[in-house]
Amino acid sequence: MAYRCANCGNKTRFDVVDSVVRRRFHHYSLGGELNIEEEEILERTVDSVTCRWCDRSDGIEEISSSIPSE
């Protein structure tokens, strides 16, 4: 998902606060170093989006992104 600010026209800079529930495969080395080998996002909720240019959140629009999400 991409965003656009209707107040100032910004399409590139936003502060996005989200809540994520994820499952991770933690693989610890014998030395105790963590390596996350797999991650699955089970649920994601966008809590707020604020424009970095005008610092407003009341005019944020969701737009189609031309870049595929991973």
Residue at 41 is within a domain: yes
Q: Is residue 68 part of a domain?
A: no
pTM for the whole thing? 0.73
Whole-angstrom distance, CA of residue 19 vs CA of residue 57 = 17
pLDDT in tens, 24-70: 999 999 999 999 999 999 999 999 999 999 999 999 999 987 665 55
pLDDT at 38: 97
pLDDT value of position 67: 61
Residue 34 CB contacts under 8 Å (≥ 6 apart), including other chains: 26, 27, 28
In 3D space, the residue among 55, 47, 48 whose CA is nearest the CA of residue 8 turns out to be 55
- What pLDDT score was predicted for residue 33? 97
Tally of structural domains, the chain: 1
More confident residue, 64 or 19: 19
- Quote the domain boundaries for residue 52: 2-63
Answer yes or no: is 6 within a domain. yes
Q: Is residue 70 in a domain? A: no
